[in-house]
Amino acid sequence: KILYSILGFTASLTLGISLSQNCFTANAEGPKDALITPTSYEQYLKLTSPSDVAVNERYTAISDKNNIYLYDRVEGVYRKYEHNQNVDQSKNDVTKLEFSDNGALYFSDKSTSLYRLNPATLTAQKEDLVCSTFTLSGTDLYFSNVSGGYSSISKAALSNLSLSSSTSIVDGLLSDTVLSISNDEIFYTDSGKYLYKYSNAQSSFISNFSNSLTSISVTSSLFCCTDNSGVFSVYDLIDLYANQEKATPLFTAEGSFSKITIFDDFVYAIDGDSVKQYSLFERSFTGYQICATSNAQNRLNGATDVPVAMMTRRGLFSVSSGSRRTEVSNSSLRRARRPT
């Protein structure tokens, strides 16, 4: 069953009543002082247990249990696809997301089934292929399957997604693998901790890690990964090739990181119940974070009640008993100011 819904920020805003844990965007053209309700905004979305994130030119997609939230940057709204294809509801949780070059969103669920979702219509089609994880490169899909404790990597054309038409690339891997593709080279793990590269029809060892890797994403010069201790790291590929396990990360962040993806020189990382954006150039957190509340600049953190909120020509004034502070949102500057 597919639910079509546009997710704005739902809140009742009258004097002395509760407001959901979201912020306001101010209307700079407001003719007079007035109470306003929140509007959609990309960084404000309550997530429970996000499992993956995918980004392309138009959309940001986030899977959370059996839901996929799609933020449309053209329309400025979130829409939700609810995945209920399996009779066993526990199998409907989405495990992997990735956009193809033509804009379709491919995803897999806990039943290992693969689907193709149209972001514009929120209609999903089940493919004939099954997989434990996958990644896309041009017109091809690379995927893994686990059988008898061993994992294998295969390749299939997006135009003909079936096991019978797929080509085996690597097999005999211990436990499940994570994989990424850069410049037609396949990076993958064996036994969780050992990183290999498949290129020119042969595999070569790159490095081993102290913790099992839960997600990897590679560019022409950088290797990004998360591990089962919740750490997000970025390595220089040349340093990783040369020094293997002794390579020093260019950047690390501790938390509850589990999945990452790269788009347009930014890393989007699942950290607990939020999605964070990191700059590959500056090797730091940008302040962009999709979640209900955040410690990042200009964000409300832990605000559970807004008894008073008033919009004036100078901005939006709100008193939050949850976060114990007054917020002033300046509509011309489009940022929040806090009294010192």
The pLDDT tens digits of the residues spanning 98-155 come to: 999 999 999 999 999 999 999 999 999 999 999 999 999 999 999 999 998 899 999 9
Alpha-carbon distance of 168 to 133, in angstroms, equals: 15
Alpha-carbon distance of 326 to 306, in angstroms, equals: 10
In tens, the pLDDT along 22-72 reads: 333 333 333 344 443 333 478 999 999 999 999 999 999 999 999 999 999
Q: What is the pTM of this model?
A: 0.79
In tens, the pLDDT along 306-329 reads: 444 555 555 555 554 444 444 555
What is the rounded average pLDDT for all residues in the chain? Answer: 83
Residue type, 96: K
Beta-bridge partner residues of 89: none
* H or E stretch at 118: strand 113-118
Q: Name, in order, each residue with C-beta under 8 angstroms of 192's C-beta and a sequence gap of 6 or more.
A: 175, 212, 213, 228
